[in-house]
Amino acid sequence: MVTGVETNQIPDLTNPQTFAAGVPHEAFARLRETPGFHWQPTEIATANGGFWAVTRFADIVEIESNPALFASQPGGAWPSTNLSPDPAENPLYNNLMMMDPPRHSSVRRVAAAAFGPRIVKNFDPWVREIVVEVLERIEHLDEFDYILEVAQIIPSFVIARVQGVPAEDRQWIVDQTLASFEAMQTADVNAVGEVLHKTHVYYREKLVPEKLRNPQSDMTSVLIHAAERGEITEAEAYDFLNLLQAAGFETTHTLIGQSMRMILESPEIADKTFRGIEELGPDKVIEEFLRFITPAMFMSRTATQDTVVGDQQVRENDLLNLYFTAANRDPAVFANPDEFDPWRTETASLAFGSGPHRCIGNALAKLELRILFEEMAKRDFRFRLNGAPQRGWSTFINQIRSLPVARVS
Amino acid sequence: MARVIYVQPDGSSTTCAADGRSLMKVAVENLVPGIIGECGGDLSCATCHVFVDEAWFGKLKPRSDDEESLLDVTSEEPTETSRLSCQVTLTDDLDGIVVHVPSTQR
Ligand code: HEM
Ligand code: FES
C-alpha cells in the first residue's frame, strides 16, 4: 500500500522513468482538478528554473491560440527550449515549429499547399502501394516484431515519398530517419547533429539539384520553387525537409504501434475497433485511437510577458508544457474519458495540437492508419501477442519500441 | 453594427451582429459550426473557407495573391465566390451579407 502523502505527490515529469510503465494518467487527473498549473522544477532548457504543466483542454486551446503572448520561437517542445532569438546562436531558428507569426505564416502557407485535405486524398494510391509492399514482406513471417516490420517502416517510406526521394535513395534516407531516431533515444546531441548534417548534405547536393532539373509535385520541388520566388529562405526550406522526418516519423510510428498493442492486449478494444469500423467507418475509430494514445504527449510555449492564464499567474519567459495527453482525457470535454469509445460524439481531440501550429500532416497520418487497417482486413491478417511489448524511454512521445507478434491467420 | 448570416449545408442559419471584425472571428466567437479559423486569421490554415452568396460577392474587396493560393488547400473545392472568411471584414455596407459554410470543413 502506498501512503496518502506519496500518492498525492506528482511524479517528476522530466524523468523518462515516470513514463516507463505508461502515461501517468492518474497524476494528470489530479493536476487537471487542481486550480492553476503545476510547477515542475528543472534547470534543463528553461529560463526561470522549471515549467508549468498545463493539463486542461480549454487552457491549452487558449494558450495555443495566442502566439503573441505564448511564443514558439524560444522552442516548440522542451527540452528544445530557452533558445536564443539570434539566428547566429540558435540552430533551430529556421524550424517551422519554432516560429511565430508573421514568419510562421509565410513558411506554413507554402508547406500547407502540399498538404491540404484535397491534396492528401490524392495520396491514397501511393500510400496504399507502400502499405501493400510492407504487408507483402511480412506475409511469409510467422513471428516478427510489429514495430520493426510495420510501424516504423510505413511512416519512413511515406516521408521519403513526400520529400520526393528517388527510389534508389529511399533505403538510405529511411536509414537516416531510423538513425536519428536511435540517436535521439540516447540524448546524444552530437550524434543527432551528425545524422542531420548528413541528410542536409544529401538535400543540398543531390535531392535539390535533381528537383531543379526535373521538378515534380513533391514537397522538395514545392519548397525550392517557393525559395526561388523569395517566399521563404533556402534555410527554411532545408529545415522543413528535416522537420518532416522529425515530426512525421516517430508520431505515426507510435500511432500504428500502440493501436495494434491495444487491439492485441484487450479483446474489448479489439471488438470495438472491428465493430466501429463496420458501423461508423474507419475515421471515427482512428480519431479515438489518436485521442487515447496521444503520440506527442505535449508541446511547449513561452510567455512573452507577465500574464494570468488558467487562473495561474505566469511570468515573462516562463515555459509552459501543454500536456495534450492529459487534455485528451479532460472530463470537462470527454464523457468517460478513460474509456475507448469510437462512438463518442465529442469534438476532435488535441492529438494534433491546435492553433496556428496544428499538425500539418494530420490528414496524411490518418490516411496511413486507415489504409493499413483496410489492407490488413482484405488479407484477413490476424495476430496474437508473442511476448511482452516494450515501451520506449521518453517524456515526450508515448513510445512503443517492441511488439512481438505471431500470425494466427 | 452589421449583420452576417451563416448558412449551413442543411439550410439552417445563424445570424450574428458585429462590426469591424472578420467574418471568421465573428463565426468563431458565436460558435458557428464549420468555421474553424485554426491559424487565427494569419492566412496559413484555410479552415475558414466560405462560399459568399452571389449577390454579395461583388461588394467585397478582391482576394490577395496569398488568399488566392491558399484557396487551393481548402477541404472543399472552391468556387468563383469562395473566400477565406478571415480576409473579409464586416463593415456597415455589408449589412445582411449571406455566406454558405462548406460541409466538409469540420
Ligand atoms: C499520428 C501522427 C502524428 C501526430 C500525433 C502529430 C502530432 C503533432 C503535434 C502535436 C504537432 C504540434 C501542434 C501544436 O503545436 O499544437 C505537430 C506539428 C507538426 N507535424 Fe505532426 N503529427 C503526426 C504526424 C505528422 C506527419 C505524418 C507529418 C508530415 C509528414 C507531420 C508534420 C508536422 C509538422 C511539419 C508540424 C509543425 C507544424 C507547425 O509548427 O506549424 N506530422 N504534429
Ligand atoms: S483563419 Fe486561417 S486562413 Fe483564415
DSSP for A234-289, written as a single string = HHHHHHHHHHHHHHHSHHHHHHHHHHHHHHHH-HHHHHHHHHHHHHH-HHHHHHHH
The C-alpha cell 485521442 sits at A291
Backbone angles phi, psi at A318, to 5 degrees: -70, 140
B43 to chain A nearest CA, in Å? 7
Ligand 2 atom closest to the CA of B70, numbered from 1: 3
Q: State the pLDDT confidence band at A7, using cuts at 50, 70 and 90.
A: very low
Q: Across the interface, which of A112, A354, A355 has its CB nearest the CB of B46? A: A112
- Interface contact flag, A109 B75, Cβ < 8 Å: no
Tell the CATH superfamily of the A5-407 domain: Cytochrome P450 (1.10.630.10)
User: Highest mean pLDDT: which of A104-118, A175-189, A290-304?
Assistant: A290-304
pLDDT digits (tens, 9 = 90+) for A98-136: 999 999 999 999 988 888 888 898 899 999 999 999 999
Average pLDDT in the A65-80 region? 95
For residues A301 and A317, give the distance between their C-alpha atoms in angstroms, rounded to a whole number. 9
Q: What is the CATH number of the domain that holds B57?
A: 3.10.20.30
A296 C-alpha to ligand 1 centroid (Å): 9
- Partner B, chain A 56-85, Cβ-Cβ below 8 Å: 65, 67
- B36 inside 8 A of chain A by CB: no
Q: What is the largest CA-CA distance in chain A?
A: 68
Q: Is the CB of A246 under 6 A from ligand 1?
A: no
Residue B79 lies in a domain: yes
Model-level pTM? 0.94
Predicted pLDDT at A2: 39
- Mutational pocket test of ligand 2: of B22, B35, B38, B49, the residue with most ligand atoms within 8 Å of the beta carbon: B38
For residue A197, the model assigns a pLDDT of 86
- Looking at the complex, does the CB of residue B22 fall below 8 Å from at least one CB of chain A? no
Residue B78 lies inside a defined structural domain of this protein = yes
**Contact criterion met (CB below 8 Å) for B105 and A116:** no
Instruction: Tell me if A324 sits within 8 A of A105, measured CB to CB.
Output: no
Is there a domain that residue B90 lies in?
Answer: yes
- Residue A8 scores a pLDDT above 80: no
What phi and psi, each to the nearest 5 degrees, are found at residue A139? -55, -35
Domain total of chain B? 1
At how many degrees (to 10) do helices A234-248 and A103-112 cross?
Answer: 70
Q: What is the DSSP letter of A42?
A: -
Give the residue among A240, A99, A65 at the shortest CA–CA distance from B39: A65
Q: Is residue B29 part of a domain?
A: yes
Q: Does A363 touch chain B (CB under 8 A)?
A: no
Query: Which of B86, B89, B105 has most ligand 2 atoms within 8 Å of CB, for mutation?
Result: B86
Asked whether residue B87 is assigned to any structural domain, the reply reads yes
Contact call for B70 and A65, based on CB within 8 A: no
For ligand 1, whether the C-beta of A110 sits within 6 Å is no
* SS3 (DSSP) at A298: strand
The owner of cell 552530437 is A190
Q: State pLDDT tens for residues B19-50.
A: 899 999 999 999 999 999 999 999 999 999 99
What is d(CA A204, CA A224) in angstroms, rounded to the nearest whole number? Answer: 11
> Which residues from chain A sit within 8 angstroms of residue B70, using beta carbons?
109, 112-113
Q: What is the mean pLDDT of chain A?
A: 92
Q: Which of B39, B66, B104 sits opposite A356 (nearest CB)?
A: B39
**B43 → chain A, closest CA residue:** A105
Give mean pLDDT, residues A167-190.
80
Query: Residue A216's pLDDT band (boundaries 50, 70, 90)?
Result: confident
Residue of B nearest to A120 (CA): B73
Note the ipTM here. 0.87
Backbone angles phi, psi at A40, to 5 degrees: -105, 110
Residue-range definition of the domain harbouring residue B60: 2-100
B58-80 pLDDT, tens per residue?
999 999 999 998 998 999 999 99
| Ligand that lies nearest to the alpha carbon of residue A355, given by its number in the listed order | 1
**Helix H or strand E segment including B40:** none
Residue A247 Cβ inside 6 Å of ligand 1? The answer reads yes
